[in-house]
Amino acid sequence: MGSARSSGPGAAARRQQPVPWREVFSGALGRLAFGLFLLEALTAVQILVVATVMPVIARDLSGLRLYGWAFSGGGLATVITIPLGGMAVDRIGPRKPFVVALGAFAAGTLLAGAAPTMPVFIAGRFLQGLGAGGEYAVGLGAVAKGFPEAHRARLLALIAVAWVLPGLLGPSYGALLASTIGWRWAFFTVLPLLAGAGWLTIRSFAGVAIPSPEDRPLNVRQALLLAAGAAAFLGGLTLASVRATPIVAVGLIVGIPAAIGLVRGASEQPGLAVGLVAGFLLSFSFFAVDGFVPLLLTRLRGRSVAEASIVVTLATVSWSAGSWWQSRVSGRSRPRTLVSAGAAAICLGAGGVAAGLLHGTPLVIPYVAWTVAGVGMGVAYPTVYLVTMDRAGRGTEGVAVSLLLLLDSLGVATGAGLGGAAIAIARNAGAGLRTGLGAAFGLAAVAGLGLLALTPALPSSHGTDGSY
């Protein structure tokens, strides 16, 4: 936002104290905050249940070779709908695009639950990703437009806290269904609750004014090229064959220029381009490990799905706790300091999980290590989003947030996809699952170290002009 709103000693004093929660939940915007909270909680249930029961799904559908695509497929789909959602909320408001996105997510949930084969399951996850991308772009665009700047850290913390109860119950719920009536009900039982939360959120959007069209729309063509290039690159690696080399090359040729073009388009706003790259590296480093920890615990360390679900719960709850703490200190802490601390925690967590590949390592180490990584993600993730919202130009908040969401989702898809590709390559080479997981965790560490190297370039304070 403009310097007139964010500079001066009075603004600095206001930023030193967190906004009272009663202000966040007051009036029409308070109803919107509650609606977004409920929808986030249900989305969290779905994501955590899938992460927990994926080993069972891969076994039942004979799809271990495509394991990574169950995560990266949805992430790649969000790359398509995020820019569309960001532009839509800037042009026509949030209500109509949100209805379309919610419908796509519900249809994908139904398809994934009924899938007879792994490719059909991945198609359902892809459709879920299309809907989720639109939902997140519209929801966060509404936050950036409708809520005062001082409220945003609280809103992002509230969204993170929406993961606490799902984090405590979701993995165990998924494990219970998988071991009793079947993993498919982990999808079917979400649909009625999703409809109710979606209805409440759609009604709440009445409190957000429809903005005027922005002057510089996000380049949808580049976003689609980026998604296509990433899909080709990851798909070629998953095939793990010399014949797939041209596919990998085409993916790089198409995707890299598109990514550079998207980030370069944001370089006019000070600090925005660096924040976008940081968002990509942050998601890559975390999700190159997160989806594979249950696989390590069940396949290599002999734990049950229920026991493996505990690590998902711990990471989720610690992420929420880190975000809650971040909302209290973000006004008086430098963004680069918070992101650096978060990146260091993720690197430490990846190292601890990798140590679990050795049979002599006590199992408590990967559990504790990934809990620490969750705290780091909770601290760094909302900080990157606050930097982006602060640096966005007036009237383009939806586009700026959607661009970060775009690279964030690409980081999720690329981290999970390259991790899955590492497993496929190792299996085809006869090296085994242990080697593939080690390579995936190594990629996460490299991305985390890259983020640490980038953090000095992040803004040292809040506000478009670099000051409070």
Q: What's the CATH code of the domain at 190?
A: 1.20.1250.20
In a domain, 177, yes or no: yes
Calculate Rg over the CA atoms of the chain. 21
Highest mean pLDDT among 31-45, 71-85, 262-276: 31-45
DSSP conformation class of 245: H
Query: Exposed (0-12), middle (13-18) or buried (19+): which is 90, by Cβ within 10 Å?
Result: buried
Residue 8 pLDDT class (50, 70, 90 cuts): very low
Report in angstroms the alpha-carbon separations of 417 from 39, 201, 217: 26, 32, 29
Residue 10 lies in a domain: no
Q: Would you state the pLDDT for residue 239?
A: 63
Phi, psi of 171 (to 5 degrees): -60, -40
Question: What does pTM read for this prediction?
Answer: 0.70
* Domain span holding position 360: 16-457
Is a pLDDT exceeding 90 seen at residue 202? no
Q: Given pLDDT bands bounded at 50, 70 and 90, which one contains residue 418?
A: confident
- Digit-coded pLDDT (tens) for 296-349: 988 888 888 778 878 878 888 898 889 888 877 877 778 888 999 999 999 999
pLDDT value, residue 462: 52
Question: Does residue 6 fall inside a structural domain?
Answer: no
The residue among 403 and 336 whose pLDDT is bigger is 336
* Within-domain flag for 436: yes
The Cα–Cα gap between 373 and 367 comes to: 10
For the cut 80, the answer to whether the pLDDT of residue 189 exceeds it is yes
Query: Which residue has better confidence, 269 or 465?
Result: 269
Q: Decide if 170 contacts 44 (C-beta within 8 A).
A: yes
Confidence of residue 467 (pLDDT cuts 50, 70, 90): very low
Q: Is residue 164 part of a domain?
A: yes
Residue-level pLDDT at 376? 94
Torsion angle in degrees (nearest 10) through CA of 297, 300, 303, 307: 0
CA distance 338 to 335: 5
Q: Of 301, 266, 297, which Cα lies nearest the Cα of 280?
A: 266
pLDDT for position 379: 92
The reply to whether 307 falls in a domain is: yes
CA angle 334, 338, 344 (to 5 degrees): 140
Lowest mean pLDDT among 211-215, 222-226, 255-259, 412-416: 211-215
User: Is residue 125 one of the residues assigned to a domain?
Assistant: yes
Q: What does the pLDDT average to over 412-425?
A: 81
4 pLDDT more than 70: no
> For residue 463, is it within any domain?
no
Which pLDDT score is estimated for 238?
59
Q: Tokens 């989702």 correspond to what residue?
A: 409
Residues 6+ apart with CB under 8 A from 283: 408, 409, 410, 411, 412, 415
pLDDT at 32: 78
Whether 124 and 61 have beta carbons less than 8 Å apart is answered as: no
Helix (H, G, I), strand (E, B) or coil at 330: coil
Give the count of domains, the chain.
1
Higher pLDDT, residue 15 or 319: 319
Q: Is 377:369 a contact under the CB 8 Å cutoff?
A: no
Whether the CB-CB separation of 142 and 319 falls below 8 Å is answered with: no
Residue 52 has pLDDT above 50, yes or no: yes
Q: What angle do CA 140, 141, 146 make, to 5 degrees?
A: 100
